[in-house]
Chains A and B, each alone.
Chain A
Amino acid sequence: VSGPVSIAVSGGPLAAPVLSRVAAALAAAAGLDLDRLENARLVADALAAHGPARTPDGRVRVAFDEGSGALTMRVGPLVAGGAAVLLRECALPGVGPVLQRLADEVGVDAESGTGEFLVIRLEAADRRRARGRRREGARQRSARP
């Protein structure tokens, strides 16, 4: 394997249909269930809508890494501060921060030296459940006197 799948799409009418289909295909390849696949598609739609304005050249670049049971999207390089603005712009009234609601992990990587990146990770349902159980166990242990 010579690296992850990378895509660059210019802002405009091609961005959403192309990004969301590629995200869905890679989510399926990663073994995500249908609900999570739809979430990957929605994340890609949001990135296509708001991403181009937060990149230096109006092109959204996403590097997809599909491991077993998880799909990671590394979005960027973004302009300085672009990740925070992008997260804010993807909020919806009554829903809140869409990307954080849809994904299991959302983070900002500004340390790579090549610009700022938004990192979004979606996991399959069984991995999410296992993570939830671990979290609950840790919470109960820390609550014991």
Chain B
Amino acid sequence: MLRRPLTPAGAGEVWLSLPARADNVAVVRQALAGVATALGLQDAQVGDIAVAVSEACGNVVVHAYPDESGPLEVEVWPAGRRLVVAVRDRGRGIGPGPRPESPGLGLGLPLIASLADEMCLTAPGPGVNEVWMTFRLAGSGRAGTLP
């Protein structure tokens, strides 16, 4: 079983909490672009991370709060030569398996799994659902120099 690289929730290098709306996924992507700039990541890897995290955020927007509004939380922290990104909701979450009522194609989680080096769905606390993923840093030499 995969073990989440440890950082207490809320203590990552970057933590974002936003209303779970589609337009806010673009804000998350901007934050990730800032992380990528600081770490000197290569464009191809930045694209993979952005797509995977956008998919996870999109799942929260579409599935987590069917009848109400709620928060989308994103946390980012470097762990050695890996970048860890956790995407959380406090609603229904999303799990593997068929969802007949889903408006999507069901490709989001497989896509995340193929782009990330590790990916796991967890429930780190009561009422909290989390997708965390790790990406091996393959940057320009500055990558992985953060604590």
Binding site for B on A (CB under 8 A): 1-3, 5-10, 12-14, 17-22, 24-26, 29
Contacts and interface: CB of A to CB of B under 8 A. Distances in A.
B-side interface mostly: mixed
B14 A8 contact: yes
Chain A interface helix/strand/loop/mixed: mixed
A1 B17 CA distance: 12
A59 to B, nearest CB: 8
Interface stretch (B25-33, B49-57, B96-104, B125-133): B25-33
A22 B34 contact: yes
10 smallest beta-carbon distances between A and B, as pairs? A18-B34, A17-B34, A21-B30, A25-B30, A21-B34, A8-B15, A17-B37, A2-B69, A6-B17, A13-B38
Contact of A3 (B27, B30, B37, B71): B71
27 contacts: A1-B21, A2-B20, A2-B70, A3-B19, A5-B16, A5-B18, A6-B17, A7-B14, A7-B15, A7-B16, A8-B10, A9-B13, A9-B15, A12-B13, A12-B147, A14-B13, A14-B14, A14-B38, A18-B34, A18-B38, A21-B31, A21-B34, A22-B27, A25-B26, A25-B30, A26-B27, A29-B23
Contacts of A13: 38, 146
With most chain B CB atoms within 10 A of its CB, the pick from A9, A24, A29 is A9
A17 B19 contact: no
Contact of A9 (B14, B37, B146): B14
B45 interface: no
B84 to A, nearest CB: 13
Contacts of B69: 1-2
B41 to A, nearest CB: 12
B24 interface: yes
A5 B38 contact: no
Contacts of A29: 23, 27
Nearest to B69: A2
Given A10-B13, A14-B13, A5 B19 contact: yes
A25 B27 contact: yes
A17 B21 contact: no
B13 A21 contact: no
Contacts of A14: 13-14, 34-35, 38, 146
A12 B146 CA distance: 8
Contacts of B35: 14, 17-18
A7 B34 CA distance: 13
Contact of B31 (A1, A2, A18): A18
